[in-house]
A = this chain, B = another copy of it.
């Protein structure tokens, strides 16, 4: 389309990571300008600063849990909004320079999350190897190409073997073969995408005070309106040990009456609530609507209340 510049997407790089793989599942990515960033913070700041229209960053995986820096970046600073989620299956290979055998591996490098997801495999197959952490699985592989390399093998995405001309000593070494990583597409705030019937809403709730029942009060605001949570993470707010906010994903869209009333309830009982967006679920699973919580029933109740108040 002449005159329309291509979309610009920042992502957690370098090239060849799972994040790029997630980004490429977006149809719009085919013609877009893709910008690898060295940290989640830089990728999100590119959106905040207007250098990118969106950013794709990892937010959760089924083995290691949340990606803390993503949760914290979304919870603080200039607001951003999640407009889409996507998942990528986790698959790790053990890569080394050609000629290296598993017995030669004394030090193996990888990103801490990948280390966690291959812990049992490494303990079993490389019992004497020291594990070294790098800032990405791709960096662990790249460094093997250098003369001054400090490790003998890397645990990386399979695609890195080809990219860096390395030998694959083992494939499928993730402890849990069904593990997924969840990624989100983040934009500047704006109108949420319209409801699809199978949506998720993300938010961060900051407790008003650190009293024993505070978390239960937050959960009740959702449960009472039939809004199911699909994820909850406590995150320290940085003030002191014991001060938390809660990062929550729940079923439904901000336009749903039950979700709207629950959000208003949270807004009233919490010190602060940050809305992080409503977006289509990656798995297309529609929520079960509990009796009494459909949009129709909310409308009926509102009409009834209006009649009571006006005496008609």
Contact = CB atoms under 8 A, between A and B. Distances in A.
Contacts of A255: 309
A234 B234 contact: yes
A232 B219 CA distance: 14
A263 B300 CA distance: 12
Interface in A142-158: 148, 150
Contacts of A275: 308
6 contacts: A62-B238, A111-B133, A215-B232, A231-B241, A234-B234, A263-B305
Interface string A86-115: 010000000000000000000000011000
A111 B132 CA distance: 11
Contacts of A292: 208, 268-269
B268 A238 contact: no
A90 to B, nearest CB: 11
A53 interface: no
A233 B234 contact: yes
Given A119-B41, A216-B220, A305-B264, A63 B236 contact: yes
Interface of A: 38-39, 41, 60-65, 68-69, 72, 87, 111-112, 116, 119, 123, 130-135, 148, 150, 175-176, 178-180, 182, 189-192, 208, 212-213, 215-216, 219-221, 223-224, 228-236, 238-244, 254-255, 260-261, 263-265, 267-269, 275, 291-293, 297-298, 300-302, 304-305, 308-311
A236 B69 CA distance: 17
A133 B130 contact: no
A11 B181 CA distance: 31
Given A216-B216, A263-B301, A267-B301, 12 more contacts: A41-B123, A63-B236, A112-B112, A178-B240, A182-B241, A191-B310, A212-B223, A212-B229, A224-B224, A231-B244, A261-B261, A264-B302
A208 B291 CA distance: 10
A219 B216 contact: yes
A254 B309 contact: yes
A178 B237 CA distance: 12
A241 B305 contact: no
B182 A130 contact: no
Nearest to A112: B112
A62 B134 CA distance: 24
Contacts of A41: 119, 123
B268 A298 contact: yes
Nearest to A260: B305
Contacts of A223: 212-213, 216
